[in-house]
Structure 1
Amino acid sequence: FYAVAKGRVPGIYTTWDECQQQVTGLTGNKHQKFLTLEHAKSYLSQHGIDTNNDTPKPPPSSSVSSSIPSTWKRGQHGAKPYTKPVASVSKPESKAGWDAVYSDGACKGNGKPGSVAGIGVWWGRDDPR
């Protein structure tokens, strides 16, 4: 049994995959594996989660929903790929007079509130900029 005290949907799960879906990617998640349902319920109770009506959630059914058209194939969606014509670009004959710039960037917590990003640019040794 897998008890999720802090996750997407707190509760008791019967497989690790189900538990992972509730906690993966969430900062501060709280979950633990137990050998018995009683121990899992006790863990949730200690974290203020009501377990009186909470029974383990069964694994998802592998049957296909009747609301999905039988003509659809797995992995298909309604959007068609967009292919933009590529403009022809001629390469310069010489790189003389061109600046060489080296850059790098990173973002801690990308896509999440409070994320922080930074970049670095290096123009080369002894560059006066």
Structure 2
Amino acid sequence: MTDHGEGTCRQVDTGMARVFGLLGKRWTGLIVSVLLEGPVFFAELRRAVPGISERMLSDRLTELAAAGLVVREVDGGPPLRVSYRLTEAGRALEPALKELGRWAETYLADGGKCPARFRE
């Protein structure tokens, strides 16, 4: 029987699993990045995230609200308009998302691939 040492017992950190369980879903990070600039009406948010359907945007906003990262606000109008903004917890993601953006500029600038000079 082969013993692979303590490495065989490694598991993903539960905090990271929760973060990527939410932010790892398609569109979610893009939505949060748009909301970092301030409150946005639904239609503006949909235009800011190319390719997202109204249904998917609504679903992702509902998930973000349930997680306590986004607040939905209704302006009675007329016309009736709904806007979304980040909560304090949502705004706290800004440093991490900006750092990921810087990382992508350095390591994924080549069409989404890590340039050869950074590979081992």
Give the TM-score normalised by structure 2: 0.25
Give the TM-score normalised by structure 1: 0.24
Report which of the two structures shows the higher radius of gyration computed on alpha carbons. 1
Q: Which has the higher strand share?
A: 1
Q: Which has the higher helix share?
A: 2
